[in-house]
Amino acid sequence: MERKKLILLAKGYAFLIRNKIAWMIINRILDVFAWLDIRILALLSMWHPDMKYRLKYLRKRGVSIGENVHIDYGVYIEFTTPKAIIIEDYVGIGYGANIISHDAGLNAIVDIPMRVTPVRLCYGSKIGSYVTILPGVTMGRFSAALAGSVVTKDVPEGTVVAGNPAKPIGKVEDFIQGWQADMKVRPEFYYDHPNENRPPSTPYDHLVTWRKEGIKIQPATKLRTGTPFDYILDAKEPSSKE
């Protein structure tokens, strides 16, 4: 192996090893703080650097969470009535989203009770960054709310909504076909990205034809993280001579 590649690999793996050791130490410390103070537990359920721990802390708070769920940083999930939030398998929630199941607006003004209505994010539904889900909303199977939406009503299965208040703008199948058409025109914008939180099968699999059509897009190894981990990717990048 070329000396340059060896240096890049050494830098990259040294970074990974250092971070692995730090994770082990920091996670133990944060576990103790979360056990001592419920407020820290709540903050860690939003901001812990490791998603596995964010999910663990959310479950400790009482949120019902299925398997293969992705919850990004900074997601506010109901502090007052967390047991009223149900998140099914293969749900994805983007950065900075808000999911709320109680309404105490009138209660703060006059002698009207606080109202709690459960929120359910059904199998395979996706919530974009900075989306707000209001009390009583059910996101149907394989539905989606685009970034910045405020979802005030139930979203039917396979429906994509956007806006404030969120309104239907299309079906999942429309977006699949639209993306594949765009891939043919601008393949350089697309990366073949593996995703462990993707459902194993969907009602739309028969519409996904780009592999059969032989559309050439970028491999995921072309992506860069902006960290020393990139040294490993750079070392493994085929040279122009190969």
Those residues of the chain that have pLDDT short of 50 are 240-242
Domains of the chain plus CATH, in order, are 3-236 (2.160.10.10)
The DSSP string of the chain is --HHHHHHHHHHHHHHHHHHHHHHHHHHHHHHHHHH-HHHHHHHHHH-SSHHHHHHHHHHHT-EE-SS-EE-TT-EE-SS-GGGEEE-TT-EE-TT-EE--EE-TTTTTSS---EE--EEE-TT-EE-TT-EE-TT-EEPTT-EE-TT-EE-S-B-TTEEEETTTTEEEEEHHHHHHHHHHHHHH-GGG-EE---TTS-S--TTGGG--HHHHT---EEGGG---SSTTHHHHHHHSPPTT-
pLDDT at 238: 67
Check residue 57 and give its pLDDT.
96
Residue with tokens 């350089």: 188
Q: Residue 1: its pLDDT value, please?
A: 56
Does this model's pTM top 0.75? My answer is yes
Predicted confidence at residue 178, as pLDDT, reads 96
Block residue for tokens 């703080």: 33
pLDDT of residue 233: 82
Residues 141 and 235: their CA atoms lie apart, in Å, by 41
Q: What is the pLDDT of residue 241?
A: 47
